[in-house]
């Protein structure tokens, strides 16, 4: 029996729990630093929320950080010492010539083509495309129906909003935000927020 612990109990966590169960995992523990313990979790066979972080982390079982916020995922990854696993939905298409880091989740309909390199604790969300030879840095989030065309680079911690399109060979810096539906046709510097078609920088994040 494959066992897994889930760190996080929000909306993204529920998707990850479903995916883990589809892949044959039994969820043994769930913890969230800010969870509302009065609200039941969906799923008849799932455990109740752990009250203690120390107890949650005490057993060395595989773990996924199921938190959508890239900054929080990044912060926790360096503190949690449990082994991390990759979760890839059976309805996703991942080339055997692609590379995926530990803690990464690929949801239903995600496509990762040959030569792509996906970092640690990345979210490749529903229906997202990472085309050939593209690079996605650690802790990034590629939202539903995003298209990263060939040779695109997305920096650490960047969030690419739903339905955005990044044309070939464009580089997105680290900790950027690309708004939903944005079409990015030129490189984006670190910490920039980009929106529109064509994409334009509207501010920088400190």
Average pLDDT over residues 7-14: 90
pLDDT digits (tens, 9 = 90+) for 126-185: 999 999 999 999 999 999 999 999 999 999 999 999 999 999 999 999 999 999 999 999
| pLDDT at position 186 | 97
Average pLDDT over residues 189-198: 97
| pLDDT at position 103 | 96
Span between the terminal Cα atoms of the chain, in Å:
45
Write out the chain in H/E/C secondary structure.
CEEEEEECCCHHHHHHHHHHHHCCEEEEEEECCCCCCCCCCCCCCCCCECCCHHHHHHCCCCEEECCCCHHHHHHHHCCCCCCECCEECCCCEECCCCEECCCCEECCCCEECCCCEECCCCEECCCCEECCCCEECCCCEECCCCEECCCCEECCCCEECCCCEECCCCEECCCCEECCCCEECCCECCCEEEECCCCEEEEECC
From the candidates 12, 89, 132, 159, give the one annotated as an active-site residue: 132
| pLDDT at position 106 | 98
Residue 166: which residues within 8 A CB-CB, separation 6 or more? 146, 147, 148, 149, 152, 154, 160, 172, 178, 184
Annotated active-site residue 37? The verdict is no
| pLDDT at position 10 | 87
Write out 5-25 in H/E/C secondary structure.
EEECCCHHHHHHHHHHHHCCE
Average pLDDT over residues 55-83: 88
| pLDDT at position 36 | 62
Which domains, ranges and CATH numbers included, belong to the chain? 2-77 (3.40.50.20), 87-204 (2.160.10.10)
In the predicted model, is pLDDT for residue 201 greater than 80? yes
| pLDDT at position 195 | 98
| pLDDT at position 47 | 72
- Dihedral Cα 117, 120, 126, 127, nearest 10 deg: 0
pLDDT digits (tens, 9 = 90+) for 18-62: 999 999 999 988 988 887 654 555 555 677 777 788 878 877 889
Nearest-angstrom CA–CA distance, 22 and 69: 24
Average pLDDT over residues 3-13: 91
């Amino acid at each position: 029996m494959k066992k897994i612990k889930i760190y996080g109990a929000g909306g993204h966590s529920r998707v990850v729990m479903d995916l883990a169960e589809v892949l044959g995992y039994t969820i043994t523990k769930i913890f969230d630093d800010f969870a509302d313990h009065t609200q039941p979790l969906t799923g008849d066979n799932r455990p109740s929320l752990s009250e203690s972080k120390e107890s949650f982390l005490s057993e060395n079982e595989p773990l996924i950080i199921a938190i959508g916020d890239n900054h929080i995922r990044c912060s926790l990854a360096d503190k949690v010492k449990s082994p991390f696993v990759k979760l890839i939905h059976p309805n996703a298409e991942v080339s055997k010539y692609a590379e995926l880091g530990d803690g990464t989740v690929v949801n239903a309909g995600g496509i990762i083509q040959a030569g792509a390199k996906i970092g640690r604790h990345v979210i490749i969300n529903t229906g997202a495309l990472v085309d050939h030879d593209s690079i996605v840095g650690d802790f990034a989030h590629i939202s539903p129906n995003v298209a990263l065309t060939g040779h695109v680079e997305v920096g650490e911690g960047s969030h690419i909003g739903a339905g955005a399109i990044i044309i070939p060979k464009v580089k997105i810096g680290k900790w950027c935000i690309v708004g939903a539906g944005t079409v990015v046709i030129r490189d984006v510097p670190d910490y920039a927020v980009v929106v529109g078609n064509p994409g334009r920088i509207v501010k920088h994040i400190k």
